[in-house]
Amino acid sequence: MALSINDMKNGLTILVDGIVYQVVEFQHVKPGKGAAFVRTKLRNMKTANLQEMTFRGEEKIEEAYIDERKLQFLYNSGEFYHFMDQENFEELEIHKDTLGDKIKFLKDNLDVTSYSYKDDILTVTLPNFIEFQIVHTEPGIKGDTAKSGTKPAKIETGAIIQVPLFVEETDRIKVDTRSGSYVERVVK
């Protein structure tokens, strides 16, 4: 469906040159001379890159209808990661390139949300915070604050996270999946 620039709003998903974007920010501009236009900041739904675009008053924008599905991570086999749709229990394969850096936080039975356009999965979002078991870390040395108080720790998925010196092997920690950073130690 074609929209006018007056229908622009944050969160709207649009199709520009065959690429699906989500409107992050927009500003209607009405200069003293000339026609009005909209200056936008758009996020590419597939790559998550931000891009600025300007639309003139007479331009029509095509809305992209995005399907949101709840999935559960099952396992990976080589380059593909397998998920189960939680509504119809259908199994889906998603290539590791679509998942990007998110694969380092995928653990068995993790619930995620996928966003697709015309049956093409654009992206998958993880929960903001996930609990992980520490499988290996060096013991912290008391009084050693020269290294800003952090050390590397390997979590159950194989990813390396910087954690405070007091965190030990077998501890459970909460990780912010958006930044990949340590949040807190989880009390058992």
Which domains are delineated in the chain? 2-63 (2.30.30.30), 67-125 (2.40.50.140), 129-186 (2.40.50.140)
User: Is 106 buried (19+), middle (13-18) or exposed (0-12) by CB count in 10 A?
Assistant: buried
User: What Å distances lie between residue 131 and 79, 84, 116, 175, CA to CA?
Assistant: 25, 21, 27, 6
- 23 dihedral zone (left: phi>0; alpha: psi -120 to 50; beta): beta
User: Which pLDDT band, with edges at 50, 70 and 90, does 46 fall under?
Assistant: confident
Write down the pLDDT at residue 168: 86
The pLDDT value given to residue 145: 54
Q: What is the mean pLDDT of residues 1-28?
A: 88
Rounded CA-CA distance 90/101 in Å is: 25
pLDDT at 43: 92
Instruction: Report the percentage of the chain scoring pLDDT > 70.
Output: 94
Residue 1 has a pLDDT of 65
Higher-pLDDT residue of 187, 121 = 121
Among 141, 166, 140, 138, which residue's Cα sits nearest to residue 153?
138
pLDDT (mean) for 16-30: 91
Per-residue pLDDT of 169-181, as tens digits, reads 888 999 999 898 9
Q: Are 83 and 94 in contact (CB under 8 A)?
A: yes
Question: Are 162 and 107 a contacting pair, CB within 8 Å?
Answer: no
148: Cβ contacts below 8 Å, ≥ 6 apart? none
Residues 6+ apart with CB under 8 A from 97: none
Instruction: Name the average pLDDT for the chain.
Output: 88
| Residues 89-102: tens digit of each pLDDT | 999 999 988 888 88
> What is the per-residue pLDDT across 112-171, written as a single tens digit (0 to 9) for each?
999 999 888 888 999 999 999 999 988 866 665 555 678 899 999 999 999 988 888 888
The model's confidence at residue 3, banded by pLDDT at 50, 70 and 90, is confident
